[in-house]
Structure 1
Amino acid sequence: MHPSSDLLPCFACFHGETGEVSPSNSEEQRLLSPFPWKEKGVFPPLLDEENPPHLNLLKKLNIPYLFDIHCHFFPEVVMKLIWKWFDKVGWAIAYRYAEEERVLRLHKNGFKRFTTLNYAHKPDMAESLNDWIHSHWRNWEGAVPFGTFYPEEGVETYVKKAVEEYGFLGFKLHCEVSKLDLNRKELKQTFRYLESVSIPLVIHTGNAPLPGDFTGISHFLPFMQTYPDLKVIVAHMGAREISEYAELIGSYRNLYLDTTMVFVDFLATGENVDSWLFLLEKYQNRILFGSDFPNIPYNLSHPVMKILEAKISDEAKRKVLWKNAEDLFPIM
């Protein structure tokens, strides 16, 4: 059974609530969560260990650092609303810290580069989020600046500004939260522009944790057919249609998947998808590591260790955890 749509944590910042967030880092909260775990009552740690176990393994594999392609930064008031909503659904937040401390936690866990993802759910919101990222991202050592956009008047203008003036290197879209149809004509020129300048997009297009009005492969495929050269990173590997999204890799040279909350013990989709771990080997050049930091109910070592312990080649691990994202966003 999946949680009802009124419990979905991805809608957290859209209910207009205010107030302080109560602590949620407890085993009791995880026991009460409507979202299942692989083994009931058995949870990975919430808190960072003094010496995170994955760091020594990274050295052995000659991985200089980790690159998180799916890391969120919102204005403080919005982030607190998100956390407050997570509290209602038993979704413990491992990294419920002030922004500066969160960046330090990324560094402590070996994440030297990470994206600044956020998204808009209504008109007249995306541009202000972009302005906020532009004003702050240089304070976050290792940040790769991402913006967002929405089908509205002036969208192409502020997207061009974000690229050409702000120097943004990518954009995030969330088809479920934004009720966003990627095939809307209002976005055609914007997508054509991003295609022409080779700017990647991270897109939540899959049907997890629940399907939206415009999620799923049936909406995504015509989008890719229209913009075949657009650089697209499918969030969460397209769960719950992992095989369908993976099959598109052979047809679209700029299509990638990210591992965000896929091969972990917390089953936000309600399904154990470890049977798809072989895809990390098969498509090792086109899969990127993502965490969903800071809104994860376990510490950062957990998703990294799941990949490090997977029965795939060392080279595949190197590519997924670091090199593929580094190739997409080289340090200039």
Structure 2
Amino acid sequence: MNPKSNPEPTPAPTPEDLGIPGLFDVHVHFLPENIQRAVWRQFDEAGPKIGRPWPVLYRGSDEERVEQLRGFGVRRFTALPYAHKPGVAAYLNGWAAEFAARVPECLRSATFYPEPGVEGDVAALVADGVEVFKLHTQVGEFLLDDPLLLPAWEVLEESGTPIVVHVGSGPVGNAFTGPEHLERLLRLFPDLRVIVAHLGAPEFAEFFDLAERYEHTRLDTTMVFTDFFVPFPDALLPRVAALGGKLLYGSDFPSLPYEYGHQYDGLARLLGRAPGLDEGWLAGVCWHNAAALFGS
């Protein structure tokens, strides 16, 4: 066989090749041990909100997982607790504050839930230095425009604090997921700094519409372009290029069923597949866009 007919694939550029200090991962979870183990049980059981076998690879202690991230070249990351029912947000937020205080690379992360007093809680968290919030409507089973949440959204729109929101219908949708829910919220609070998790999978095009329409709406790449998650339509790649400045690298570490580097490799495989998908685009997604948003 003529070796020239099957050339070796071009190695993916490293962050060093891209001129960035490493990866800025905006979708990492660190949780209190009891809650982390409960989350992993859901993955192990392939529960109804998981929908498929999902063998989690990274189950070490907090300290071990922080060292793993450092070894993967992650230089900044989140902790992203998310409240799944009333009465747990304060516990999660207190733990996350202590975690961020001892891990310098970690953004101060917090969550909230539609329950009485949420406006005051969110205002106090913002005043205390929280840098990013996380909501998960599929797990928490609430609407983004729940009346109890509206005063909290007003606080967050005014403060400009980013919020990572899992509102896409992947991996399993329910009555609380889908782009229509975020669209209703953005009509009320158009300047919210929302980061749509998983590029909104599987409703990619609809969430792209919202990011194109609303100046401060962004998306993270978590699990998209891997061999495991929802397939991404090639026809949307030109829009991925055009949205470059609004895309942020995310992984969903530690609850991954594949090696951490697979997410980066999936993004690197996009290079050259549409105009604008170049190394500058990749450097923006992996570092510059998040650094500009969070001031790091």
Q: Provide TM-score, normalisation by structure 2.
A: 0.89
Partner of 1:34: none
1:119 aligns with 2:76: no
3-state SS of paired residue (2:152): helix
Deviations, residues 133-169 of structure 1 (Å, cap 9, x unaligned): 112212223001110001111111111221112x111
Aligned mates of 1:253, 1:139 — CA distance in 2: 34
Cα drift, residue 102 of structure 1: 0.2
Tell me whether 271-280 or 106-115 shows the greater mean CA deviation.
271-280
Code of the residue aligned with 2:283 in structure 1: it is: R
- Aligned partners of 2:268 and 2:109: how far apart in 1? 27
| 2: CA distance, partners of 1:67 / 1:124 | 31
1:183 to 145, 150, 161: 145
Deviation at 1:275, TM superposition (A): 4.8
Corresponding residue number in structure 1 for 2:261? 301
Residue 179 of structure 2 is aligned to residue 249 of structure 1: no
Please tell me the residue identity of whatever aligns with 1:116: A
Which position in structure 1 is the counterpart of 2:252? 292
Q: What one-letter code is carried by the residue in structure 2 that aligns with 1:253?
A: E
1:198 alignment partner in structure 2: 160
Equivalent residues, number: 275
1:61 to 18, 25, 44: 18
Q: What's the secondary structure of 2:83's corresponding residue?
A: coil
Residues of 1 paired with 2:261 and 2:236: CA distance?
21
Match of 2:98 in 1: 135
Q: 1:148 aligns with which of 111, 129, 140?
A: 111
State the Cα distance separating 1:280 from its structure 2 match.
3.0
1:211 Cα deviation after fit = 1.3
Structure 1: any 5+ residue segments left out of the alignment? Answer: 1-52
- Moved segments of 4+, more than 4 Å: 272-275
Distance 1:298 1:275, change over 3 A: farther
1:183-229 CA distance string (max 9 Å, x none): 11111111001100111110001111121212101222111111001
Q: What is the distance in 1 between the residues matched to 2:118 and 2:143?
A: 15
Q: In the alignment, what sits opposite 1:91?
A: 54
How high is the TM-score relative to the length of structure 1? 0.80
Structure 2: distance between partners of 1:192 and 1:114: 26
Q: Residue 281 in 1 paired to residue 241 in 2?
A: yes
Whether the 8 Å contact between 2:212 and 2:243 is mirrored in structure 1 is no
Cα deviation for residue 305 of structure 1 reads 1.2
Report the identity percentage: 39
The answer to whether structure 1 residue 230 and structure 2 residue 192 are counterparts is: yes
Compared with structure 1, are the counterparts of its residues 93 and 273 closer, same or farther at alpha carbon in structure 2 (3 Å cutoff)? farther
Q: Which whole-Å CA distance do the structure 2 matches of 1:91 and 1:179 have between them?
A: 21
Deviates more, 1:119-128 or 1:318-327: 119-128
Counterpart position of 2:287: 322
Q: Does 1:265 align with 2:230?
A: no
Is the 1:67–1:322 contact (alpha carbons within 8 Å) kept by the matching residues of 2? yes
- 2-structure distance, mates of 1:162, 1:218: 28
Query: Distance in 2 between the 1:86 and 1:206 partners?
Result: 18
Equivalent position of 2:32 in the other structure: 75
* Alpha-carbon offset, residue 273 of structure 1: 4.2
Distance 2:217 2:126 in 1: 21
Structure 2: gaps (5+ residues): 1-10, 47-52, 272-276
Contact 1:263-1:277 within 8 A present in 2 as well: no
Q: In 1, Cα distance between the equivalents of 2:171 and 2:261?
A: 23
